[in-house]
Amino acid sequence: MTRLILLGPPGSGKGTQAKALAASWHIPHISTGDILRQAVQDRTPLGLQAQSYQERGELVPDRLVMDLMRERLDQPDTNSGWILDGFPRNLAQASFLDELLQKRDQNSVEVISLEVPDEVLIERMHERGKKEGRKDDTDDVIRHRLEVYREQTAPLISYYRERQQLTSVNGNQPLWAVTAALQEVIHS
């Protein structure tokens, strides 16, 4: 049973690695960024509320992502485990997740922090912006997302380290090497 949280700055490769691991372990990859982008595209009520935050590189309000995660983790496919990518993204979301899992007696969770230097992150996001046309992969928004990460998400590293749930992995290697490193440290 694997329950894994992938932490890391924007552009660190969380999504790519989460997809690879989820496929190899046959468990769902739950990406709040993907779910929100899909909601924006489908113009659902959630999407309409999330859009402007997402495009500016701000965090979408906690209430929206918490509701969305509560529902997602209620789906039967999560019984076999999961990989979270993009959640939690601040301390309030982390305590919310703790409570949710405690209620369900799902206390064994591993957390990986993917480490990549800023200059590499910026270059990767530029490339992605050109390829995929993501509205938040433009210069100003990229810079802002890194600030938001540093201020709101990075504190989760010490939060999970203090609880001895955290392992760091070097994300500045070829994709396959990062996947191999992850597979080595995670107890699947």
Active-site residues, by number, are 14, 89, 128, 134, 145
Question: Shortest gap between Cβ of 23 and ligand ADP (angstroms)?
Answer: 18
Choose between 122 and 186: whose C-beta lies nearer to ligand ADP: 122
Choose between 30 and 166: whose C-beta lies nearer to ligand ADP: 30
Choose between 1 and 61: whose C-beta lies nearer to ligand ADP: 61
Locate all alpha helices (DSSP H) within the chain, ordered by sequence: 14-25, 32-42, 45-56, 62-72, 91-103, 118-132, 139-148, 155-162, 175-185
- 66 and 93 Cβ atoms separated by less than 8 Å: yes
Decide: helix, strand or coil at residue 82.
Answer: strand
Question: Shortest gap between Cβ of 63 and ligand ADP (angstroms)?
Answer: 10
Cα dist. 113→5, 9, 41, 44, 170 in Å? 9, 9, 30, 32, 8
Q: Which residues bind ligand ADP (CB under 6 A)?
A: 10-11, 32-33, 36, 53-54, 57-60, 65, 86-87, 89, 93, 136, 145
Residue 52, token pair as written in the block: 């402007």
Query: Shortest Cβ contact with ligand ADP: which residue?
Result: 33
Question: Shortest gap between Cβ of 101 and ligand ADP (angstroms)?
Answer: 16
